[in-house]
Amino acid sequence: MTAQALAAVALATALTPAVAAAVEYRTLDVDGIQIFYREAGNPDAPTVLLLHGFPASSQMYAGLIDALADQYHLIAPDYPGAGQTVIGKGVAFTPTFDNLASVMTRFVELKGLKRFALYMQDFGGPVGMRMASQHPGWISALIVQNANSYDAGLSDGIRHNISATSAGVNARTRPMLEGILSTEGVQFMYRTGLRQPQRVAPEGWTNALWGLQNPVNRNIQMGLLANYQSNLDLYPAWQTYLRDQQPPTLVVWGKNDPLFTAAGALAYGKDVKKADIHLLDTGHFALDEETPAIAAHMRRFLAGLPAAK
């Protein structure tokens, strides 16, 4: 075997968990909302909080958790209105991104997390950037995967949808919102831009569609879509946070995303001087095709962070 081949084997071995760590499926009562979450890895290891996108749930991180739990402590919650999380009877939850971030902030506090890397995808961006900018001391690093914080990253289609639905959920906007939540709309988000669609299992979008059959979840997701303009209004504040705090930032972005374009990935480099940016040949849900590559980037990136004080 050549020296080059031996080096390749050694690298593959180093990036492959020897034994898959057990994943636990738990719930945490957050002010009457039973937040479902996945947790794996040694709690004494560096923690990564995984915030999922729309219309997904923590299920989108199952493969990544398996790939990294030998070395890291991973926690992936479901938001109110997503996955297995249940809002208690009589508990009012108004579907805004401010409220999502408040619930996730309370989740972090109740879990006793003091410092962690924050992985953000899609809706995870506006939730996570609110948390990071309000609690910068919590954040050891940012991992950004098709989570937009810049006007440059908005496709024409998503700009139109945000503008057209910003008046809220009403008789005029509901047909458009229902179209986004339809089978065709969900599959568009999951399948557009895939490099090898025949190799991507359908569980991602079928699980998302299952979650949207719940009327409570469906109404929350429509409300959040109609509230999306609130995120654009905060882009300048998030960019200020990035410039001022310079959090170590890894960007792993599906460059064929029809919603958040590659320009949104590159824009992080304008504000974070040492941003580590990688454009991957896939779509919006990049983990569906690129879990091994993203896991390898994360191991390298996280291993290079300063030791916790």
Calculate helix-pair angle for 156-165, 229-245, nearest 10 degrees: 120
- DSSP secondary structure string for all residues of 59-111: GGGHHHHHHHTTTSEEEEEPPTTSTT-EEPTT------HHHHHHHHHHHHHHH
Scanning 141-228, the segments in alpha helix (DSSP H) are 156-165, 174-180, 183-191, 203-212, 215-226
Side chain identity, residue 162: I
Residue 55 structure tokens: 């219309």
> What positions carry a catalytic annotation?
284
CA nearest 262: which of 280, 245, 250, 235? 280
Residue 265 structure tokens: 């990935």
Side chain identity, residue 31: D
3-state DSSP assignment of residue 50: strand
Taking the CB of residue 92, how many other CB atoms lie within 10 A of it?
7
What is the distance between the alpha carbons of residues 235 and 147, in angstroms, rounded to a whole number?
A: 12
Give the H or E element holding residue 27: strand 23-30
Do the Cβ atoms of 79 and 52 come closer than 8 Å? Answer: yes
Which residue matches tokens 């991992």? 143
CA nearest 221: which of 161, 283, 178? 178
